[in-house]
Structures are given as structure tokens and as C-alpha cells.
Chain A
Amino acid sequence: MSKVKELEIKNKYTGEIIDTIPADTVETVREKIKRVHEHQHLLTEMDFFERANLLSRYSSKLRFNKQKLKDLIVAEGGLPVKYSEWELSIVLTGFKFCDWYYQFLEEKTLTSIEGEQNVRIRYIPHGLAACISPRNTPISLPLYQLGANYLVGNGAIVKPSTACPLTMLEAYAMMEDIDLPGLDALGLVIAPGEWAVDEFLSSPLVKTIMTITASHTAKDILVRYAKVLKKGVDRSMGVTMYTTPFKQFFFECAGNDAGIVMNDVNLEQVAKWNVMASFTNSGQQCFSMKRIIVHKDIYDEYIELVIKEMEKLKYGDPTDPDVDIGPLGSRKILMMMEVMVEDAKKFGAKIYTGAEKIDTGADYGLFYKPTLVEIKPELCEDLTKAPFLWREEAFGPVRSVTKANDMKDAIKLANASNYGMRAVVYTSNLGNIEIFKNKLEAANIYINARPMLVDITVSLGGIKDSAYPPGCKYYPQELVFGKYIYDGTPLNIDKIK
């Protein structure tokens, strides 16, 4: 047995140790996978609505204890307290009303050309899912992964980020407090992704891998999976046979969302929403307006308004209720922001505001001032020549802005990306709205929408490098497979008797 190590969890702002927790070892991860697998039947023995009711009840437990959770989100995640409520609301709403997802799982009867109804499509849970969550959301995404699997009847192991696992551990403890039936079919793994992912990939008990991560990390997981497949090659019959069964992969990856502002809107209002959409959680969100595309007629006026709004953002201690921008998640993010801005400068980019940092030299208390960088439109269209900031996801408080001549040009610029999570449009021209809906290349299109919607209808997913498989998606829908059942008994029972 390898020695159990301890993990120090630090306050993202002060660097103080919040707690020291035992980390999993290879052996304990394997034990957890086995335990969850053995208890999966507890979930499938309940029907969908029983599980939905239990999850709804658990949502009440979370709400009654939300202050404790918010404190942890702020401390270990660095999210400003004013946004911790939003982070929590996503799961509270989703779980409270989770029976809403039944519309995606309800058994369907198909009618043949002759009018017979012998075919049904029934939705079956895939089986044990191993889920990997990012550091930017200490609770919403990992708990959503756990809850979605519970809802459809899959056992699940969730690995929260080792930088901020305490909120999820507390959320799990609250499941224990209410004796959530079937809890043994859910587990948390506290381990670094480097080797935990390999354990998930190589375990025959794990049927699905769900990750919320950078697109490049997701592709790396596929490369590792290829190695696992190769290990299982059997050439004894003279041909190459890969004996390891398929796994399902669900990747939620990076976003480099375009936000288009046309010349027919209330610029003050849109500038406010734009800044909120771009800098919530210090810009450390996969869905966030990252590439701002502004109609040339209102460009100068709009930039002025956006800068004014950006300069209102207060950064500092995330426990301060007035603070908008909390500390960055890691040194790597700080370095990446610097690299992106420096690279953009080489392309003659104009820095409108920001590009200053507070660097403690450690992995806490790190800030990068909200930054707006103008990139010339002619540099944006060909991705092989575009600055890094335009090409790749800026997972921090740096945003690029460029100028569009008209709607067609704005759409072309928006689609000049390897990513396609969301696209946002502000226009009052009702005649153009359908064109935007049809032409923009993203899985989720938001027209004249307020940012940060907390609603059960909000979908995840993306196209291009933003998600695999592509499309807008609701996790419960993705965690089951359709089973085609043809029952010819009413037609043929007399013949086959």
C-alpha cells in the first residue's frame, strides 16, 4: 500500500492553510471505484422520480447551509463573495427542480408507417462515471456532475480540483447528514489529475469519463486512452484486436465566446452587461465574452463606456462584499495573461486599460487588472496569423476587442475561432436576429440576453474544440443511451406459440 499523503488547502487570497486533508492513493482510488461500482444497483432500484425527489430534498439541505458553503467557495476558490451566491445558485436551482430533466429521458413510443406502435426507445444509464472538475468552480460543476449521474442512475466518482476540494467534501458530508439513499454509489477522489485520470482510464469498471477542462487537456486524455487500448492488444490470432472495451467520453472544454455589439443598441446598458459577462469570476469562466466585436459606427463611444465600467470593478479581498475581482486561481493563469498581452503587443495591439499585475511570488493573492486589448480585424480572420489572445482562450481578466464593418463582417469575425461554446449578440434590428441565430458557429446562442442567467434551461456544451461530443447539452441527457425495443408480441404471438 502506498502511504496516504496529506494535502494542504490554502486560502486563495491570504495563503493561510484552511485545512489539511488526506489525499487518495492509487489503492484508495481503486477501492472507491470498486465500492461505487458495487453499490450502483442502489440507484437503479429507485425510479427516476424517487431519485429526483431525494436530490430536490438535498438541495434544501444545501440551501439551509449555504453560508458555510459560500465561505469555503470564497476561501479556497477565491471567488468574490458576491459571486459565490451565483456559483451556488446554479446547483440549488438545478437540483431543486431536477425532475425537469425527465423530458430528455422519458421512454418514447414510435409509430410505424402502418400505424403500429411496437417500438419503444428506452433510456438506460451508461454505468459508472468518473468525473474530473476544474478549479474555477469549487461546487457548481463537480456537484452537477455528481447530481446528474445520481439522477439518471449512474454510480459516480468525482475528482474535484486538489486546489479547492473542501467545498465538495462539505457538500458530500451534507449528503451523509441526510442519509441520502444510494450514497454509497457516489464518491469523491482527492488526487491530482496526472495519475487519477490514468486510473479512471484503465479501470474496466468505469464506463464514462466526464471532464471539464482545457481542450488540450481533453485531447491529452484521449492520447492516454490510446495507450490503455494499446496495452490490451491481442495478436494471438494473427490480427490486431483491441480487447479493451470502449468508454464514453464527455468533454466540456474551453470557450472563446464572441460577443457582438451592433450599432442599434443602448450602449450604456450593453457595456454594463458586457463587463459583467467578461469579468465575472475574474474572467476565469469557460463561458464568458472573451472576443468583443463592435460595429465600427459606435466603436469609439462603446469602448469608452466599457472602459468606464471596467474601471469601476474593485479587486482585492474576496470576502469584501464590494469586491468584483478576486485572486486568480494559479500562477500559471497570471503568467498566461502576461504572455497573451505581450504577444498581442507584438502585433501592434492597443492596450486600452489594465495590463498590470499584483504578484506575491507565491500561489495566492495573485491579481491581473481587468484588461482590454484592441486587435486589428485583419489579424483576426486567419487563425494561423492571429495573436495568441484571439486564437486561444484567455482564462483570466484579459479581453480582446475588434471592429466590424457590418453584420456579415461581425459574423465572419465571430466564427474565426477554433472554439464554439457560446456566442452573444446585442442588436435591436429584428430583421437580423434570425441571421445571427443561423450563421453563428456556436452551440449556445444568446441574443439580447442578460449575462449570468441562472435557469434550469441554460445548457452546457459546445462545438469545434469547445466540447466533445458537439452540441448544446444537458448532462442527464448525455449520461444515458437509447435502447431500441421492438416488441412484435401483439402481432405474432399466435404464430410463434
Chain B
Amino acid sequence: MLEEELTGQVIDIQEFRTEIAKNYTIFLTKYPEIFSDLDDGSIFDFCLYNSIKDYFDKSPADTFNVLRNENGIEIKSGRANESDLELALSIAAVKKLVQTDTKVEYAQLLGSYYNDPDEEKEWIDFTLYKRTQTLIDMGYGKFAKTAGILEDEDEVYKL
């Protein structure tokens, strides 16, 4: 059986505070398959920060949440009510991520911002709101690998 193609949509894009968040959500809707490993109903926040200080002060410039539903992903402005986790990104990182041309290029860049972050420029981080085991069971571990955050074993073994 062929896997049904996933779709991505942004709800009420005019509600976003920043242009960069709008651009990023539009970009993410091009690659809904990145979220394919997540269980239906998984929902998490993307928070965009001007600086690492803002991140530690919990003061994002913009936020949106991504819901994995049976058709694909649905993106809305603001934080989710019961978010599974927060993916935090510097705005400098998002600016570069939206310029990537392929899903693979995006994943590689996102992974590099996690594994070799630059506090002053491009970085990402995440905070878990649910227990690790619960999130693993929901498919977040595989998602992290697809999204480039967890390194692919073959990359590790190039050592």
C-alpha cells in the first residue's frame, strides 16, 4: 500500500507577530513528511528567540505550534495548550534554515545548529514538557533523527 501523502497548512497566518515566523511556517508546510514519524495528536511549540539571553529569560520573539493530525500538519500561532515540548531556535538560525533548498539540506543544517551551536548566532535547543519515555513512545526520537537533531549513526561512524 502506498503511504498517503501528508499535507501541511498554516491557520490564520496574519496572527503571527513576525515575518520570519510566517516564512518559517510556510517553509515547514513544504516538508510535512519530516513530521511523519509522530503519532497523530502530537503537538509542540516552536519558539523563536532574538538571543540566548531571551531564551533563558523565556522571552521569545514569536511562537507557533505544530499539530500532527491524520492528514499531515497544522500550524497555528502561539503556544499549544498542552504542548509536548518546545523547540527553541535563534532567529539567525531560522533565517538560514528557510533558505535551504531540500529537506536533506534543512535537516543537516538544523542538526548542525543543535550539535555545534553558536550562542551568538545560530543555535537550537529543546525543552521537554512530557517525560522522555512518553515522547519516545509518541515517535519524537525518530522525528528528531529525521529532522536532523539526533545524528544519523552512519554520520557518527564516519569518525
How far apart are A105's CB and chain B's nearest CB, in angstroms?
13
Interface string of B144-159 (1 = CB under 8 A from A): 0000000001001101
Q: Does A308 contact B (CB under 8 A)?
A: no
Decide: A100 and B153 in contact? CB cutoff 8 A. Answer: no
Docked complex Cα distance between A267 and B127 (Å): 43
Docked complex Cα distance between A97 and B134 (Å): 12
How far apart are A459's CB and chain B's nearest CB, in angstroms?
16
Chain A residues lying within 8 Å of B123, measured Cβ to Cβ, are 64
Interface string of A88-111 (1 = CB under 8 A from B): 000000000101101100000000
Q: Does B133 contact A (CB under 8 A)?
A: yes
Docked complex Cα distance between A333 and B127 (Å): 43
Partner among B133, B153, B159 whose Cβ is within 8 Å of the Cβ of A82: B159
Q: Does B40 contact A (CB under 8 A)?
A: no
Decide: B117 and A97 in contact? CB cutoff 8 A. Answer: no
Q: Does B52 contact A (CB under 8 A)?
A: yes
How far apart are A121's CB and chain B's nearest CB, in angstroms?
20
Decide: A450 and B153 in contact? CB cutoff 8 A. Answer: yes
Contact residues, A133-191 vs B (CB, 8 A): 178
Partner among A56, A64, A86, A454 whose Cβ is within 8 Å of the Cβ of B128: A56
How far apart are B11's CB and chain A's nearest CB, in angstroms?
30
- We find that the number of chain B residues with CB closer than 8 angstroms to chain A is 18
Docked complex Cα distance between A56 and B123 (Å): 17
Decide: A450 and B128 in contact? CB cutoff 8 A. Answer: no
> Could you tell me the dominant secondary structure of chain B's interface residues?
mixed
Given known pairs A450-B153, A450-B157, the reply for A99 and B125 (CB within 8 Å) is no
How far apart are B130's CB and chain A's nearest CB, in angstroms?
9
Partner among A63, A103, A276 whose Cβ is within 8 Å of the Cβ of B117: A63
Docked complex Cα distance between A487 and B153 (Å): 49
Q: Does B59 contact A (CB under 8 A)?
A: no
Given known pairs A56-B127, A63-B117, A450-B153, the reply for A100 and B132 (CB within 8 Å) is yes
Among residues of B, the one whose C-beta sits closest to the C-beta of A61 is B56
Partner among B125, B127, B128, B133 whose Cβ is within 8 Å of the Cβ of A103: B133
Chain A residues lying within 8 Å of B133, measured Cβ to Cβ, are 100, 103
Decide: B159 and A99 in contact? CB cutoff 8 A. Answer: no
Q: Does A243 contact B (CB under 8 A)?
A: no
Among residues of B, the one whose C-beta sits closest to the C-beta of A80 is B159
Q: Does B15 contact A (CB under 8 A)?
A: no
Docked complex Cα distance between A60 and B123 (Å): 11
Contact residues, B88-132 vs A (CB, 8 A): 114-117, 119, 123, 125, 127-128, 131-132
Docked complex Cα distance between A66 and B113 (Å): 13
Docked complex Cα distance between A307 and B78 (Å): 58
How far apart are A310's CB and chain B's nearest CB, in angstroms?
16
Decide: B131 and A102 in contact? CB cutoff 8 A. Answer: yes
Docked complex Cα distance between A5 and B11 (Å): 66
Docked complex Cα distance between A103 and B137 (Å): 14
How far apart are B121's CB and chain A's nearest CB, in angstroms?
12
Docked complex Cα distance between A276 and B132 (Å): 30
How far apart are A94's CB and chain B's nearest CB, in angstroms?
11
Among residues of B, the one whose C-beta sits closest to the C-beta of A324 is B159
Decide: A97 and B157 in contact? CB cutoff 8 A. Answer: no
Q: Does A83 contact B (CB under 8 A)?
A: yes
Chain A residues lying within 8 Å of B127, measured Cβ to Cβ, are 56-57
How far apart are A152's CB and chain B's nearest CB, in angstroms?
16
Decide: B159 and A97 in contact? CB cutoff 8 A. Answer: no
Partner among A64, A99, A102, A456 whose Cβ is within 8 Å of the Cβ of B52: A64
How far apart are B48's CB and chain A's nearest CB, in angstroms?
17
Chain B residues lying within 8 Å of A57, measured Cβ to Cβ, are 127
Highest count of chain B CB atoms <10 Å: which of A60, A82, A100, A103: A60
Decide: B117 and A64 in contact? CB cutoff 8 A. Answer: yes
Docked complex Cα distance between A397 and B116 (Å): 30
Docked complex Cα distance between A178 and B157 (Å): 33
Chain A residues lying within 8 Å of B116, measured Cβ to Cβ, are 66
Known: A102-B131, A276-B159. 19 other contacts (CB 8 A): A56-B128, A60-B125, A63-B114, A63-B115, A63-B117, A63-B125, A64-B52, A64-B123, A64-B125, A83-B159, A97-B128, A99-B128, A99-B131, A100-B132, A100-B133, A103-B133, A450-B157, A454-B156, A456-B132
Which 7 residue pairs spanning A and B have beta carbons closest together? A97-B132, A100-B132, A60-B125, A64-B119, A99-B132, A82-B159, A64-B117
Chain B contact residues, CB within 8 Å of chain A: 52, 56, 114-117, 119, 123, 125, 127-128, 131-133, 153, 156-157, 159
Q: List 5 A-B contacts (CB under 8 A).
A: A60-B125, A65-B119, A99-B131, A178-B56, A450-B157
